[in-house]
Amino acid sequence: MDSPSTYERPTALTRPSPRTVAQMTQAGLIVEDEGRTRLGDEFRICASRLNGIIKATLQSGERNANTVLITSTKPAEGKSFSSVNLAASLAQTAARPVVIIDADLKPGCLSELVGLRLQPGLFDFAADPQIRPADLAVETPVPGLSIIPIGVPPSFADFEQRRRPLMEVVDLLSVAMPDATLVLDAGPLLSTSDPSVLAPSVGQIVMVVEAGRTQRLELEAALELIRGAHKVMLMLNKVAGRQRSSFGSYSYYGDYYARPNAPPPQAKSAI
């Protein structure tokens, strides 16, 4: 392994070409070639409600109001799928550009699915303050939507020393791209510490709940971990089974979660 002194972030990589529709489909983007789909409609409804929450947060002038953290209790509950489709819907309907930031380093992560696994991204920005986040963003076929890949993982000994704390990274991203909505596709709350570390510094959180799989106690434990975060919107995924065509409604997990700052019945102070 290289010694710390030889660590260098990848430089002079040309900006990757815009992602293709096929690459975005690989990551779960719903493409409606032949008219609207039910799932697409459901995402539009969720995105519109999320947009309302974001607008309110922006108006309140809260710290990092333009950031949305997408998380769930466990892996494979649909965080990346939801990130891509919520972000695409937001980009198409809201006036602001949207940047998805891959913040979940794992095999099959969003960057890998869209062919950006080896491109500089979030980790590089975390290690090097000279990088402009906008330069890391790769365009997609959805107007107004781009992706910042996960970047080079901390595989060198000194990375952790160079790396700025995650909360600071989110502050810097928010300030560097004030006119965009930043959607952080994060890891699961019960397996990694990053989302709970980030929770207090993001404007809003979308908690993806997988119908029939996420257990109530797990959900409560996860909500407890993000206690103190301002606005948590729960989104029910995979309602009707595993076939995309038969996925039922995406919805909020009760009215409590549609009302920012209202406490949910079970998980106290989660909102």
Ligand X SMILES: Nc1ncnc2c1ncn2[C@@H]1O[C@H](COP(=O)(O)OP(=O)(O)O)[C@@H](O)[C@H]1O
**Binding stretches for Mg ion (CB under 5 A):** 79-80, 104
Residue 39: CA count within 13 A, CB half-sphere: 21
* Partner from Mg ion, ligand X, none contacting 9, C-beta within 5 to 8 A by type: none
Between 44 and 238, whose beta carbon lies closer to ligand X? 238
Between 21 and 157, whose beta carbon lies closer to ligand X? 21
Q: Return d(Cα 208, Cα 49) in angstroms, integer.
A: 15
DSSP category for residue 54: H
| E runs forming strands in the chain | 67-72, 98-103, 138-139, 145-148, 181-186, 204-210, 232-237, 251-252
Burial degree of 139 (CB within 10 A; 0-12, 13-18, 19+):
middle
28 binds ligand X (CB under 6 A): yes
Least separation in angstroms between residue 42's CB and ligand X is: 9
43 binds ligand X (CB under 6 A): no
Least separation in angstroms between residue 262's CB and ligand X is: 26
13, 21, 22, 76: residue in contact with ligand X (rule CB under 6 A): 76
User: Helix or strand or coil: residue 177?
Assistant: coil
44, 46, 65, 77: residue in contact with ligand X (rule CB under 6 A): 77
| Phi, psi dihedral angles at 103 (to 5 degrees) | -125, 25
Report the greatest alpha carbon distance in the chain: 55
81 binds ligand X (CB under 6 A): yes
By rule CB under 6 A, what string of x and - marks binding of each residue 209-248 to ligand X?
A: ----------------------------xx-----x--x-
User: Rule CB under 6 A: which residues touch ligand X?
Assistant: 28, 72, 75-81, 237-238, 244, 247
